[in-house]
Every structure is written in structure tokens, then in C-alpha cells.
Structure 1
């Protein structure tokens, strides 16, 4: 047999007929895909609630070319451009972007946990703990979302900002630890400045999308750099200073008129009721600090994110503060067997907490979360106003006396005005007419407990809520 034949049989890589073996998916890729599919279906099933109407309103107004400068951000502008290209409404855009936000969030969590440890099951456990160990409420003001009970939050800008923050932390950790292969380096042996500038641009973008989350992302960046960066010298400090300067310059351009990033209130009174299950991660965080160092990034992250709310500001950072203990718990429980006694006890405690996380309190009784009206297994109590969309046009002014209507109607492109003066028992017909002319009111949306004024003409009503749509101030905008 000739040497040529031997050489052909030993061909590998690019010269092989089929290449190498197929790459097997990681546990997190499998679990994350299933999780994404489940939560996407749940998100599309649950009607929008809470502040979704305000977010849809901004997209709708920008799509129609109406000014709304107080809420311009790269995220909202991208949504408005997408709406104009596709012709979708603000509500439809939120429906489409919810799964996209979830994808950014899932990939960000996985990338950040992989920066902490090479253990394959650590990202899976981290996502599970971040999902079920946070009680029945979402975390405040842009914090990480408790995805199971509040799927409606996936369409919010804060969901995208959280995912981008995890991505920024992962990239910061990679540069601070210098674990990624470097193909081209400068004369000093360091990475080029372009990557640091791009990292600063990412942090600035997080601030533009959601300022509270951006502040938390900045504290996380400080924790990663302080915990992992070694060999400080002028060139290293200059690169991190460049990243910080770019982030500040980008964030300084935010157009949130009259809005301050550091004026977001203090610690909520029901803190213990909302996040007591997350305390299961504190033993793992303490063990990590004792074994490794108190300069560990997860320890610093938790401390910094908790200090800001404790000082009476940035209460929304508590959501990001809880990410540290949960990630530490995931890293500990992803360790290979055999486990010592303390790790087995920690695992059983985490399993018990996860079971409690799938329960909620309803009417004084503990029931599975699938039976909770605010969950995704049954229709929520938040109403939909599609029934009046055939009458009310974008730009019309509506007087509404229901709290949920006030928060939902802006998503249909209408302007909601205060109905208290109009519906006051002491108001006369002349005074009501003056209010209609002054505010250019066209419609009244009244609850079933409110009487319809004599000058109003009822055109539609909701079978579900009993709300009544009445026309005032001239002819209607549309008819059925």
C-alpha cells in the first residue's frame, strides 16, 4: 500500500469528506429553547396588562408621526420604525417584540453564567432560580422579571435592557479576566481600544433603553472590573476609562425630559414578601466569598446593587441585586459529584424553594400558580378594549373613569383625559359642555357604576366589564 493511500485515509478537518463530528447542543441550549417556546406561547395567550398600554401608546404615536419626545430611545424608535415598515399597531409590535426581548434575556443570562464557570449545567440552574425563586410579583422598576407569573412584562423595554445588561457584564468579565483568545494585540500586549469603546456604547445603550437598569448595569460593570481585573497599569486604566467615557457620552444624550436616573424611590415596604425565596442564594454567595475572595464579582455585585436602594435611591436596582445570589447558587449546585454534606443540604433547600416558587396565595389559600388568575393558565382579569376600536380613532380624546382604562387606552393611540370634573354630581350641563370644548373630547368610557350624562349618546358596551362607550362633542368617528 502506497504512502499516498495512507495519507488520504488519515485526512482530517477541511480535507475530510464530511468534516468532524456534529456538535452536540449544550444543556442550556436545549432548556433555553424549550423555555423560550413555552414563555412565548404564554405571552401571546395573556392579554396585555398594567403599563403595556403606555408602551404601546408611544409606539403608536411615533408610527403616526405624532410627537412624543419624552420617551424617545433607541428601543422605542426601532419599534416605531418596525411598525411603519410592517403596518402593525402598537399592540401588535409589543406582541412581536416580547419573544425577541426574551431571546436577548436568555442568551444574556447564559453568556454571563458561562463567564463565571465552565460548568455546563450552571446556566440552566441560574435561569430556573431566577424564574421561580422570586415569589409572585415582578421586581420593581426595570428589575429582572419573574417570568412565570408575569409574562406580560416581556414586551417592556426593561426586559430588553436586562438582557443587554447581562451581555455587557459577560463581555466585561471576559475582558477583565482576559480569557478570550486575542488574535491581534497592540505593542503593550493588550486588546485594542475599539472593543472597549464598543463596550461603553453597549452600556450607554442600556441606559437609553431603561435608565434604572442602566444604572444597575454600571454598578455590575464596576463589580466585574474590580473583582477580576489584575495587572493594573496606565494602559489598562486608560482602556476602562475609555469605556466609561463612551458610556457617559451616550447616556448623556437621553431625551427623558425632567427624568432623573437617581430619583427612583427607596426600598419597597413589602420587600420581604416579594423576594424572601431569593435569600436561599445567600449561603452560596457567602461560601463563594469565603472560598474565593470578598472581591468576587458576584459578591461585589450584590453589595453594590443593595447599597443604592439602602441609601434611599434607585429602588429598582433590587431586581439586579437578587441576580448575584441566584447565580452563585447555580454555580455551587452545578459542581460535579460527589457532594459534601453542606452542598447536599443547599441542594435540598433550593429544590424546596423552587417548589414553593410555583405556589401562590389566592383568597387566603395556597394554590399552584397555574390556578392563579394573574398567571398564564387562565385568562387574566385585565380587560381588553378591542371592542371599542371600531369607533375610536387614533388622536381622539376620551374621558375615562376606570383606572385600568386610563392605563390601557393610550395603547390604541387615543388621548385619555381626567373625567372627575365632568362626572362630578355638582357639574352642570353647561360646565360639562365647556369641558368638552376645551379638551376637544369626543368620547366617554364609563364604568357600570357611573351614570351616562343626558347629552351623551351610547354607541357600544362591553359584555365582559359592563363599561359603556358614549359619544359627546359632535358626530362619531366611525360606525359599525
Structure 2
């Protein structure tokens, strides 16, 4: 009898994921000083000294800052309670972020496929199927970006987003109580507070899940309550005015113009995923991944057309499902 070939085929992707995990663990040990690492370190130090009225982490001013997110508050409390060096705390944050991301991807993929190798293949696609021109932005899952931002709040926010999509998908498929829906709303708000751009991606993914599920009218009040609680948490967050961010940062557009530069070189490998999405669309016109991709692509295209280049930070909403 010929030996089955399914086991080796399933094991190979997991072996590649294990190698990828080792590489990222080595990055955490090294913790390269790049990008906003110093800013996040300063945020933790401010919270170490005062949880009630931390001063702005960028300048010596008594002012609110969007860097004071729920996740940074947790890290600040950890630093205060243990006395650990800020860079040890950031390494622990990186480990937690990777665990959240890995488990979140697995849970979400399991709502879409039961194939044994599906989660591993999804991880490899998310990290490797980008392009041949490097991109380095927080909230993006390319290997280069992930390695340089692994200790940032954006990685935790992405991990929570995958968990949110998985939880929401299951709640839409089977009856769920009010506590579940309220928990989903609170989690949505936490993601937005931790990293606003990733929060937009999480919102588009959640919207795609709802549109794909076509929930009955009996579920609408619970969906509304979930959204209302999320908005309430955003409004009550004491460290900064979340809704004021919509009218702040006029300089963001020029900074983010670079997201649209070298577009084919940065993202051409994603076309492999787009081809797979086309096949899914032929089978189901309301496929959640197809809707997710369409929403993300629409936001990014609108940003380019209108000159709102910061909307390009929603690109992961098109790249993740592809």
C-alpha cells in the first residue's frame, strides 16, 4: 500500500511557520531600534511615573496623547509593578503580540476552512505574499514590517482584530447572548484605541462579516447594541479624545503619500491571492473574504483619488483577505 501523501503536505507549511517564528523570536531578542520604538518606550516610561496624568510622551507638556492606549496602559502598569526595564517590557509586549496574532489568525482561518494546513498557509501568505520592494509601516504584515514593528501596539491590535473577526463570524452563525455581543463591541473599541489605523481595518473586516452573513432582523438589536457600546467606550476613554482625531493631523496626507509609491513592486505577489478570491467569488457572491477585499480596495482607491493618502493605511484590509 502506498503511504498517504497528505501528512507530509500538511507538515511542510507548519515547518515553514516554525522557522518564521524562530526568526521573529530572534528579532525580539535583538529588538532593533527603528521607527517609533523610542516613542513607545517613552510612552511606557511616562505611564510608569504617572498613570493618572501622564505628560505627552513626545514633548514636555501636560497634554493628552493617542499613544496612551489600553495596551500601553497595561504595559505601563507592568513596568510600575515589576520595575522591569522599558526594553524588557517591550520584548514581553512583542511576545504577547505574536501570540495574539498567531492564535487570532488560526481562529479566524478556522471559520473559513477546516483543512489541516489552512492556518499555516494563511500565516505564510500574510507575511510573504507582498512584493519585491520593501515596505515598512506599522499595521502591515509583510515580514520586514512585522520584524521592525513586532513590539508596537499595532501588532497587538492586529491580533485582536483577527480574534474579533473569528468571534463575530461565529456569533453571526449561531445564536449568541447579549453578553457576547457587548463583548464584541468593547473589543472593537479597544482595537481602535490601541491603533487607530488597524481599527479601521478591523471595522472593514467586521462589516464584511456582517454583510456576508446577512443576519436576520432578530439579530439587528444586538448588532446595534454592540456598536453602541463600542462607541461609548471610545467616548469615555480618559487619556485622549478619540473622535477629535478625525479633524487632526493635516500633515498626515503628505506623510502617507509614500504608501502609493512603487505600488506594483510592493504588492504584486498579492495578485496570487486575488486570483483565489476570484474563484471564491464565483462560488459565492457574498463571500466574506471577497467583500473584505472589496471594501479595503475601495477605501484605498478613494484615498488616492481624493488625495487623502492616509486612507492608504487601510491597505491591509485588501491585502489580508487576498
Question: What's the TM-score once normalised by structure 2's chain length?
Answer: 0.81
> How far apart are residue 272 of structure 1 and its match?
2.0
The residue correspondences of 1:61-460 to structure 2 (distance < 5 A) are 61-65=46-50, 66-68=54-56, 69-70=64-65, 71-135=67-131, 136-138=133-135, 140=137, 142-148=138-144, 150-178=146-174, 190-230=175-215, 232-233=216-217, 235-254=218-237, 255-256=239-240, 258-260=244-246, 265=253, 268-291=260-283, 293-312=284-303, 313=308, 314-325=311-322
From the superposition, tell whether residues 299 and 262 of structure 1 become closer, same or farther in structure 2 (CA, over 3 Å): farther
Gaps of 5+ in 2: 1-9, 57-63
> How far apart are residue 240 of structure 1 and its match?
1.1
Q: Which has the higher helix share?
A: 2
> How far apart are residue 80 of structure 1 and its match?
0.6
> How far apart are residue 78 of structure 1 and its match?
0.5
Distance 2:227 2:135 in 1: 30
From the superposition, tell whether residues 157 and 202 of structure 1 become closer, same or farther in structure 2 (CA, over 3 Å): same
Question: What's the TM-score once normalised by structure 1's chain length?
Answer: 0.55
Distance 1:110 1:246 in 2: 27
Query: Over aligned residues, Cα RMSD in angstroms?
Result: 2.4
Distance 1:60 1:102 in 2: 23
Gaps of 5+ in 1: 1-25, 179-189, 326-480
CA contact (8 A) 1:102 1:159 kept: yes
Distance 2:280 2:248 in 1: 30
From the superposition, tell whether residues 50 and 95 of structure 1 become closer, same or farther in structure 2 (CA, over 3 Å): same
Q: Which moved more, 1:162-171 or 1:90-99?
A: 90-99
